[in-house]
Amino acid sequence: MYKIEKTKFKGLFVFHPQVFEDERGYFFESYNAEVWKEAGIVTNFIQDNESKSKYGTVRGLHYQIPPHGQSKLVRVTKGEVVDVVLDMRQEEDTFGRHYSIILSQKNKKQLLIPRGFAHGFATLSETAVFNYKCDNIYHKSSEHGISPLDESLDIDWKIPEQDILLSEKDKNQPIFGDHEPFM
C-alpha cells in the first residue's frame, strides 16, 4: 500500500505510496480509509479541490478558524511544489513553527495536514497541478491568512524573491504576530 511517516508535528503525516510501474505506465493507491483507520487516522473527506499554477506562484498561508477548520490531504499530479504548513495551534509545543516538503508528480508523496495549520505552496516547475481533499467545506468568512513573506517565519519558498507571484489577497495578509488566533 504505502508507508506512513510521522513528523514532529502532532497529526501531520507524510504518505509514501507504493507505485507499481510497467511498460504501460503506473498504478498506486492514493487513499484508503481502512489503511488509515488501522493506523489510527480517521478523517471524513467531503470536498476535493484542484488548482493549476505557473512558476513562481505562492499560494497561502491560509487557514479557516473553528468551527470551519479543515484537515487536508494534499498532493501534486503535475509538476513540483514546495508545500509549507505553519502550526497555528497555541496549545502545541510546535506553535509558530513550520514544516516544508517537496511534493511532485515524480515522488507522488502526499501530506496530511490536520486542522489548526496555515497552509501554502510555491510552484517550482513551469506549471503545477495541486490536488487536495478537505474534511470541511470552504467557508469564506472563516478564512484567514498569514503573509507568506513574513520574515520572522524564515520560510524558504525556493524561489528568488523577485520571481514570487502573489495574489492581492496574499500581498495584504498580516504577519504572524498579528494573526487571527486558531482556537
What pairing do the DSSP bridges indicate for beta strands 143-145 and 58-64? antiparallel
Give the burial class of 117: count Cβ atoms within 10 A of its Cβ; 0-12 exposed, 13-18 middle, 19 or more buried. buried
Check: CB of residue 112 under 8 Å from CB of residue 32.
no
Check: CB of residue 105 under 8 Å from CB of residue 80.
yes
> Closest Cα partner for 72 from 145, 134, 129, 116?
134
Question: Residues with catalytic annotation?
Answer: 62, 132
What pairing do the DSSP bridges indicate for beta strands 13-17 and 110-113? antiparallel
